[in-house]
Amino acid sequence: MSAASLARAERVALCDLLDEVGPEAPTLCDGWTTTLLAAHLVVRERRPDVSPGLMLGGAAARHTTRVTARAAQRVPYELLVERVRSGPPLWIRPVDGPMNLVEFTVHHEDVRRAADGWAPRVGLDDLQDALWPYQRSSTRLRARSVRDVDLSIARPDGDPLHVSKAAKVTPSDRPVLITAEPLELALFFFGRRDHAVVACTGDPEGIAELRSAPIGF
């Protein structure tokens, strides 16, 4: 399956789950109910003015927070979910796969894993294969605040992929290897570290740094 097809499948599965759990269910997004998550997904695709605030702090982030909160307050939950389900606007559809595959996969798990008794999904070979190519660049970006750690990632039974910038690695850096399925790696480096099923090996202090340092934009 293509990345776009998989992104659409994750979108539909997430919307089905949002309909099932209702507007006040918890998510793994800090402080967000399912209503705020649905509002975030709507404004992310339909309000280009919020884009800077998705990656930057300060005034841009405050603007994005205000727009998302207003959407959550003013638009009925069922309509928010339906807008997400209807897909991205026409101008986004050519890049639906690269723009939305990781986003909707992670947010699908944000709702799944906020409930008691969750377990990792199985039978996701196509999705895992599609997520893996995103890991080198996204991991390097999201772990950029981790200091003095020489970081590599690997799929189970796969070869390690070095993600620390070679120019910034020094002999004193602590080597750490994180092994997991690509979906679990995406969750870990999107800040869902307590809910990601990963194996960390290498320098103990480096592992502790990786598990506690700020991760994300």
Residues near 13 by Cβ (< 8 Å), separated by ≥ 6?
108
Strands 199-202 and 174-179: antiparallel
> What pLDDT is recorded for position 199?
97
Q: CA-CA distances (angstroms) from residue 53 to 8, 47, 60, 61, 183?
A: 25, 11, 4, 4, 25
pTM of the predicted structure, to 2 decimals: 0.92
**pLDDT at residue 217, rounded to an integer:** 61
Residue 192 · residue 28 · CB < 8 Å: yes
Phi/psi at 82 (5° precision): -65, -35
Which residue ranges make up each domain of the chain? 3-112, 125-212
Which residues of the chain are modeled with pLDDT < 70? 166-169, 217
> For residues 70 and 64, what is the distance between their CA atoms, to the nearest angstrom?
10
Question: CA angle 14-18-24, nearest 5°?
Answer: 140
Cβ neighbourhood burial of 198 (10 Å; 0-12, 13-18, 19+): middle
125-212 — its CATH code? 3.30.1050
What are the backbone dihedrals phi and psi of residue 153, each rounded to the nearest 5 degrees, phi first? -130, 160
The pLDDT score that the predictor gives to residue 214 is: 86
Are 196 and 180 contacting, i.e. CB atoms less than 8 angstroms apart? yes
Q: Are 8 and 105 in contact (CB under 8 A)?
A: no
